Amino acid sequence: MSPVIPIEDFFEDIIAKSMRGRHISEAELAQATGVSPDILHRLCRGEFCDEPALLKVAGALSLDPRALTMSASKVWRPRPVDIDGLEIFNTPYRDMRVNAFLIWDPETKVGAAFDTGTDSSSLVAKATVEGVTIDSIFITHTHNDHIADLDRLKAACPGAGIYSNEAEPWPGTETFSEGDIFSIQGLSVYTFTTSGHSKGGTTYYITGLSKPVAVVGDAMFAGSMGGGMVSFEDAWNNNREKILTLPDETIICPGHGPMSSIGEEKRNNPFFAADFR
């Protein structure tokens, strides 16, 4: 069973990301909603003090009110994920934690690493225990927390190909274009450019396990999404059009927080739930 990893974003993080992405200040949001500045300030600081006010905020920020209320109430987390051939590794980085993944063909014992986190030793140890040969290392994006241990992982996997998106290349890697497909013995890895959080952020869609898997980097989190540091609009559109159109049973493997599924995100993610009801 995968480790229990806390939800990455609280409701105040979701509000803040939507405000930044839509270029709405706290004063402008108070004026648009009619919520008093004091109540709004408390909501923006993570105090669930007024549900009617929160619903007004949701409407003004194009967030699903039911899903945002569930986030504020802390009553939802995704179901645990336990699939043969998929393992998550959660390592510390400054004041947060970051994920890397090992995915392998259970029959041939050939697999790939997706990102490195800050310490890839547990990933390498798991591969050793399972008898898995890591023949590929895929980078979702080049922010330091996701590739901090790339040199050590590369040294532990001699001969492994290392791949990055041509829109966000990294020295010493082979680049690919969106739509390129890789094979890991019995598994297929499809590539989608899901930019917005970073210039060439990539989602890897893997088939061949008991359920399909999407390694999404920081494009999407359980119940939230990445910060849209390059373009909030691109991030939102790519999530909706490229990730959330995958089959509902697809397991989402995010760069931070617990794993989720497409179906759960369509129902419970405040950024997107209203579009899939």
C-alpha to C-alpha distance for 110 and 105, rounded to whole angstroms: 6
Indicate whether 122 belongs to any domain: yes
SS3 assignment, position 37:
helix
C-alpha to C-alpha distance for 96 and 155, rounded to whole angstroms: 26
Residues 104 and 219 in one domain: yes
- Chain centroid, CA 111 distance in Å: 20
Indicate whether 188 belongs to any domain: yes
pTM of the model as a whole: 0.97
C-alpha to C-alpha distance for 217 and 227, rounded to whole angstroms: 12
Indicate whether 93 belongs to any domain: yes
Residues 268 and 134 in one domain: yes
Residues 19 and 133 in one domain: no
In sequence order, which residues have a C-beta less than 8 Å from that of residue 170 and are 6 or more positions away?
Answer: 139, 142, 147, 150, 164
Helix axes 37-44, 51-60, angle to 10 degrees: 80
Instruction: Indicate the residue among 22, 42, 73 that finishes a domain.
Output: 73
Mean model confidence pLDDT for the chain: 97
Indicate whether 140 belongs to any domain: yes
C-alpha to C-alpha distance for 270 and 226, rounded to whole angstroms: 13
CATH code at position 22: 1.10.260.40
**Per-residue pLDDT tens digits for 172-201:** 999 999 999 999 999 999 999 999 999 999
Percent of the chain with pLDDT over 70: 99
* Residue range of the domain that includes 23: 11-73
Whether 3 shows a pLDDT value over 90: the answer reads no
Residues 59 and 108 in one domain: no
Indicate whether 250 belongs to any domain: yes
C-alpha to C-alpha distance for 16 and 20, rounded to whole angstroms: 6
Residues 120 and 226 in one domain: yes
**What is the structure's pLDDT at 117?**
97
Which band of pLDDT confidence, cut at 50, 70 and 90, is reported for residue 1? low
C-alpha to C-alpha distance for 11 and 62, rounded to whole angstroms: 14
Indicate whether 131 belongs to any domain: yes
Residues 68 and 111 in one domain: no
Residues 127 and 28 in one domain: no
Indicate whether 156 belongs to any domain: yes
Residues 160 and 114 in one domain: yes
C-alpha to C-alpha distance for 185 and 214, rounded to whole angstroms: 18
Indicate whether 262 belongs to any domain: yes
Residues 96 and 231 in one domain: yes
Q: How many domains does the chain have?
A: 2
**Per-residue pLDDT tens digits for 6-44:** 999 999 999 999 999 999 999 999 999 999 999 999 999
Residues 59 and 113 in one domain: no
Instruction: Indicate the residue among 49, 73, 97 that finishes a domain.
Output: 73
Q: Where are the alpha helices (DSSP H) in the chain?
A: 11-21, 26-33, 37-44, 51-60, 65-73, 121-130, 144-147, 150-156, 232-238, 262-268
Whether 277 shows a pLDDT value over 90: the answer reads no
Instruction: Indicate the residue among 73, 98, 120 that finishes a domain.
Output: 73
In sequence order, which residues have a C-beta less than 8 Å from that of residue 62 and are 6 or more positions away?
Answer: 18, 22, 274
**What is the structure's pLDDT at 2?**
65
Residues 26 and 116 in one domain: no
